[in-house]
Structure 1
Amino acid sequence: MPHTTDSTTSSPDIAKPSRRRFLQSAAAAAAVSTAPLAHAQQQPISAEAPTPSTNPSAAAPLMPVKLTINGHPYEMQLEARTTLLDALREYASLTGTKKGCDRGQCGACTVIANGRRINSCLTLAVMHEGESITTVEGLATAQTLSPIQAAFIEHDAFQCGFCTPGQLCSATALLDEFRAGDASAATADVRFRPAHLSDDEIRERMSGNICRCGAYPNIVSAVRTVVAINKA
């Protein structure tokens, strides 16, 4: 009977590859697997390949916005997403209006739009096309302070002054609202104009303006003084 060789008894070189052969095989396999990646990294970027824009806002169209600010006409080219606050500060260069929280919580950006006080950080400039805007720069006339400005100085109704422009605009509108008969949450009977502006009325009507220095008692005193002058 012819002799057959079992596969388990094959040559030691075949059954047990040497350490050198193993390392050579592993190195060759690694080189083959990384070659496509290296080739891809060396490929030049196609001129037709889309590249991300470095200035996304450049594509936003501009539109003309006409405003009357403190009695002067302004025509600005603005993006539709520009807030009234940014339009006043960055385009009209009226930096008296302050950017505080930029989310309608502090009142530092308060201005008067068509006789109504608003937070300019919460509204878009395009929404006020053709309107009349009054900022803190427009409260004084002919180098003469408005009554509320003079009262703030007399009663020391500010400290750091950052919130003061918004406080002044809000107090100015408050007095107009009271003269027009507008009620507030502190009015005993909202069906009727309050007989006078009590301290509670003033505090409630000024509650949308935060003073982080805590000058609230002096602010109330300043407003109360102007109310008394108007009655005289």
Structure 2
Amino acid sequence: MAADVAAALFDVDGTLVDTVYLHTLAWWQALAQYGHEVDAARIHRAIGMGSEQLLDHLLGDDRDRSEDDAVDAAHLALYAQHWPGLRAFPGAGDLLRECAGRGWRVVLSTSASGRELDVLRRVLDADDAVHAVTDADGVEAAKPAPDLVRKALEQASAPAERSVFVGDSVWDVQAAGRAGTPCVGVETGGFAAAELRGTGAVEVHPSVGALLDGLGRSVLAHPGAGER
């Protein structure tokens, strides 16, 4: 780790790209295909976890896991139907570029992988600002475990205390906290500001566009601004 390096780590789904409710619908349909009737509200509250953690959360970790891969594949196939209409939140790409321009090493830290990640990066259209990408394929456990955040810090060669994670769910805040990194929350994934702050977010904004507008007052104002 380089003591003078700072990383701005960004979740993608629900934070930079408007996908949370599409994921909720796709999981609801996939689970129903395999005989699991789960309320959509419960599924929504689990979005942001990795697939394995989400299924543990919704179905219990003592379940028969033999269908997990099939359910996950069904979710991805159903979700893929929405790919042509995906959109980045207004200001998302500009926020990444502004952070990079201020000296942050920008890292995308996402539970997505493979084709899904390729689609998200095309929609975001900000690779010119991105230093590195960490996805679910490179870690043992996805959020709320801290593995993705720690891997992102490693790829940026940045210490946790000089870096900031930006996410939309309580699972993002928990993962960042377990990695020793402060988290900035946005409400675009459906979690309320009080929930994000109650889990440990150091600040919360309605969206990444609002965060961009108020960047000068944020811990993202300049590298090291949120150092504890």
TM-score band w.r.t. shorter chain: under 0.3
The TM-score with structure 2 as length reference comes to 0.24
Q: Which has the higher contact order (CA 8 A, sep 6+)?
A: 2
Q: Which has the higher helix share?
A: 2
The TM-score with structure 1 as length reference comes to 0.24
